[in-house]
Amino acid sequence: MKIQNFDILIIGAGPAGSACALMLADSGLNIAVIDKVAFPREKICGDGLSKDVINQINLLPPEIKISFDNIVKKLPSSGVRFYSPDNNCLEIPFDNNDNVSGYVCKRRYFDEILVNGLKKYSNIKLFENCEVIEVRTDNESVTINTKSESFSTKMIVGADGINSVVSKHFSPTIKNKKHLCLGLRGYFENVTGFHKENFIELHFYKDILPGYLWIFPMAGNMANVGIGMLASDVSKKKVNLKNILEKYIHTHPNISPRFENAIQIGKFEAMGIPLGAKKMKISGDRFLLAGDAASLVDPFTGEGIGNAIRSGRVAADHIKFCFKMNRFDEAFNVTYDKEIYRRMWNELKLSSTLQKLFNYPGLINYAVRKANRNEHFKKLVVDSMQNIDIKKKFLRPYLLYKTFLH
Ligand SMILES: Cc1cc2nc3c(=O)[nH]c(=O)nc-3n(C[C@H](O)[C@H](O)[C@H](O)COP(=O)(O)OP(=O)(O)OC[C@H]3O[C@@H](n4cnc5c(N)ncnc54)[C@H](O)[C@@H]3O)c2cc1C
């Protein structure tokens, strides 16, 4: 089999891989982006694009934002509804000072615009329907095999999602269920009772904590409905995610009346969500990991698209530096790990703390009730959603003690 040679191989054309390639487009490097499926493709997801995702898109080449603005089937969302275990609801509008709103948009359409963006660059070659099945390394290069082709490179980026073959080859760490969430989602038509400004909904009920059930309104009278729970709880409590989600849809007083005329489109589908609750080794000799392959999903919200794009961007900057210095070794690449965690760890760590607090239903009930009664406390909650420094302050033990016991 003839081996094709590229400066960089990026495995996976999801948000992490596409962002990395887009940010390398002006580098003059010869890049191959390889994905096991052809785009447009579905990706199991809640389809929630937070304001952080929109801000990340704004940092990619400008044509990406133009393509995003042209997606017809996306719905702007300007807030979130939190439902507590005792069935109260707290509405939190997103801060609108920057004129950026969140969206709900099928990944089929979102990921397609990123991949289409790659096609205009002559130094980026996209290989679709090309599953990487083997990775081999020697001192000089990395070689990968798909069923029909072989590629070699100086440097490989594993942006191939939760079951990354690149990560398995380079850092076959033991999978830890403690930092893994299982998500299940389905699409429904005719769900009623949404907020008039399309707030996304997170429902925190006792038997799924610290996980939650979500109902996200979508364009075309559709909704993305799903549930996420820690994998360790799913096995410990022997939970069947589909049964538990259907139980809520059919019987819960907050939810079932809204599904009276709803029709499910397609079937429920499940997938793992690798939470960024622990620092990992995400680089080494001739490799970098990005996005889900590097476990960068927010442990509290389950959002991973923003950090996938962010890590792809950081990987691109690092790769440019590697070629400038002609260094591809582990000692040099460790600065990539440092930069990723410098940018993301504070937020990930705070979200881990929040996730732990959400094990206590009484605490959530109390916080939601108090926020609905007390404008000052509500503002603190609202502000902490958008501002990491306020979130940090909010989660200080003293303030928590003062808030909940007084
Ligand atoms: C149920 C669920 C709900 C979620 N909801 C949200 C949400 O609402 N908002 C949010 O921000 N995040 C959400 N996430 C997380 C989000 O989906 C991921 O964090 C995000 O997709 C990560 O992007 P990525 O580019 O790293 O990986 P992916 O999007 O998974 O892309 C990886 C790509 O690699 C390709 N690939 C895999 N293996 C190979 C191989 N061997 N060879 C070649 N190609 C390969 C795949 O085909 C895929 O295109 C959710 C996840 C789940 C499971």
What is the identity of the amino acid at 331?
Answer: A
12 touches ligand 1 (CB under 6 Å): yes
Instruction: Report the nearest atom of ligand 1 relative to the CA of 273.
Output: 53
- Please report the DSSP string for 9-60 in residue order: EEE--SHHHHHHHHHHGGG---EEEE-SSPSS----S--EE-HHHHHHHTTS
Residue nearest atom 51 of ligand 1, based on CA coordinates: 45
- Report, as an integer, the average pLDDT of 283-310: 96
Rounded to 10 degrees, the C-alpha dihedral 14/17/22/27 comes to -170
The DSSP output letter for 93 is E
- pLDDT tens figures, 65-85: 999 999 999 999 999 999 999
Nearest ligand 1 atom to the CA of 15 is 25
Delineate the domains of the chain, giving CATH numbers in brackets: 3-72+105-175+278-353 (3.50.50.60)
Q: Is 51 in the pocket of ligand 1 (CB under 6 A)?
A: no
Are β-strands 150-158 and 3-11 bridged in parallel, bridged antiparallel, or unpaired? parallel
Ligand 1 center–CA 159 separation, angstroms: 9
How many Å lie between the centroid of ligand 1 and the Cα of residue 14? 6
CB 99 within 8 A of CB 3: no
- What pLDDT, in 10s, does the model give residues 330-344? 999 999 999 999 999
Ligand 1 atom closest to the CA of 185, numbered from 1:
1
- pLDDT-derived band at 190 (thresholds 50, 70, 90) equals very high
Peptide bond into 210 cis (omega under 30): yes
Beta bridge partners of 222: 189, 218
Q: Which of 276, 216, 231 is nearest to 46 (CA)?
A: 216
Length reported for the chain: 406
CA nearest ligand 1 atom 4, residue: 45
What is the sign of the dihedral through the CA atoms of 296, 301, 305 and 310? negative
| Full-model pTM | 0.95
